[in-house]
Amino acid sequence: MSKSPNTERKVTTAVFRLKKERGEPLTMLTAYDYLTARAVDQAGIDSILVGDSLGMVMLGYENTLPVTMEDMLHHCQAVSRGASRALLIGDMPFMSYQISPAEAVRNAGRFLQDAGMDAVKLEGGEERLEAVEAIIDCGIPVLGHLGLTPQSVHQLGGFKTQGTNADAARKLLADAKLLDQAGCFGIVLESVPDRVAEYVSSQISIPTIGIGAGAGCDGQVLVTHDLLGLFDKFRPKFVKQYALLYKEIDAALGSYKAEVESGEFPKAEHSFSISDEEWALFLHQASES
């Protein structure tokens, strides 16, 4: 299968700002492999996020913390081979940007140089501002991430909704303004009350991409495996399943097993043939060897 033939105009970070100005919703989905990236790109989705959520969805971890730079780069490379139109964003994993701004810049650069990404995403507000500014100063676009930040799951006390009281909502707004001023091209708002997310979106110049943050954001993102019903361990409240492919896959695999065991598969149409003459010659030669 060849690289996606999508010849529509490449989505850039400038498109994000333009869509916010026009009031046009942005669409974003995750992808971690070539085939999914190709499908998402062909669907005309604005942006593909290679999220560190691949730790749970693809690698079977309980959270995103064990995901490494090498894991991320490997999956980003596959996605970049499958998509040509969507803006590609690589998620910076735990401890790839927290140590120092210099380390953050080095790792961010690898997403563009080694993995074909157009931008990077990292979690945190004021406490990560120095790293964000250093990355942007090097010409690397940054997507912020506030609210429920999975890499801080232990500090947050679990996967809990954020910004649910006045003080927390005020901190969220302040962080969003700092990321806007620092030059981020957008901010993911995860698991935030809808009224808070809508207000924050109205107070900054860059678009917000919501996941569990209501309809007042400037765009939406979901994990594609959740959207397709491929991930059966749990379903977050904010996920709408547009298909239930896990059940279809389960049924297909069961049918395959049953047909192989019964002799129903494979049939003649699934097999290759040899001419009678060549078969007779083979048998003759085999009998003499």
Mind listing the pLDDT tens digit for each residue in 159-218?
A: 678 899 999 999 999 999 999 999 999 999 999 999 999 999 999 999 999 999 999 999
**In this structure, is residue 203 part of a structural domain?**
yes
User: What is the domain extent for residue 189?
Assistant: 13-243
Are 238 and 256 found together in one domain?
no
Instruction: For residue 132, give the amino acid letter.
Output: V
**In this structure, is residue 95 part of a structural domain?**
yes
**In this structure, is residue 233 part of a structural domain?**
yes
Mean pLDDT of 229-253: 90
Between the two ends of the chain, the Cα-to-Cα distance in Å is 42
Q: Is 241 exposed, middle or buried (0-12, 13-18, 19+ CB in 10 A)?
A: middle
Are 127 and 164 found together in one domain?
yes
- pLDDT higher than threshold 70 for residue 31: yes
Cα 118 to the chain's mean position, in Å? 13
Spatial neighbors of 8 by CB under 8 A, at least 6 apart, are 44, 85
Are 212 and 252 found together in one domain?
no
- pLDDT score, position 2: 44
User: What is d(CA 41, CA 28) in angstroms, rounded to the nearest whole number?
Assistant: 10
Are 77 and 156 found together in one domain?
yes
Are 101 and 220 found together in one domain?
yes
Q: What is the pLDDT of residues 107-139, one digit of tens each?
A: 999 999 999 999 999 999 999 999 999 999 999
- pLDDT score, position 155: 67
User: What is d(CA 79, CA 34) in angstroms, rounded to the nearest whole number?
Assistant: 5
**In this structure, is residue 52 part of a structural domain?**
yes
Alpha helices (H) along the chain: 13-22, 34-42, 54-57, 69-82, 101-113, 129-137, 153-156, 166-182, 194-203, 224-227, 245-262, 276-288
Percent of the chain with pLDDT over 90: 88
Q: Is 114 exposed, middle or buried (0-12, 13-18, 19+ CB in 10 A)?
A: middle
- pLDDT higher than threshold 80 for residue 153: no
Mean pLDDT of 62-87: 97
Are 80 and 187 found together in one domain?
yes
Domain edge (last residue) among 243, 259, 278: 243
- pLDDT score, position 1: 45
Are 233 and 126 found together in one domain?
yes
Q: What is the pLDDT of residues 55-74, one digit of tens each?
A: 999 999 999 999 999 999 99
* Residues 52 and 95: beta-carbon distance below 8 Å: no
Domain count, the chain: 2
- pLDDT score, position 162: 83
- pLDDT score, position 87: 98
Q: What is the pLDDT of residues 215-229, one digit of tens each?
A: 999 999 999 999 999
User: What is d(CA 103, CA 118) in angstroms, rounded to the nearest whole number?
Assistant: 19
Confidence of residue 6 (pLDDT cuts 50, 70, 90): low
Are 123 and 200 found together in one domain?
yes
CATH of the domain at 57: 3.20.20.60
pTM score of the predicted model: 0.92
Taking Cα atoms as reference points, which of 186, 182, 183 lies closest to residue 206? 186
**In this structure, is residue 2 part of a structural domain?**
no
Are 275 and 146 found together in one domain?
no
Q: Active-site positions? A: 190
**In this structure, is residue 3 part of a structural domain?**
no
Are 164 and 38 found together in one domain?
yes
Are 252 and 146 found together in one domain?
no
**In this structure, is residue 6 part of a structural domain?**
no
Residue 205 in 3-state DSSP?
Answer: coil
* Residues 120 and 143: beta-carbon distance below 8 Å: yes
Instruction: For residue 244, give the amino acid letter.
Output: L
**In this structure, is residue 185 part of a structural domain?**
yes
Are 66 and 117 found together in one domain?
yes
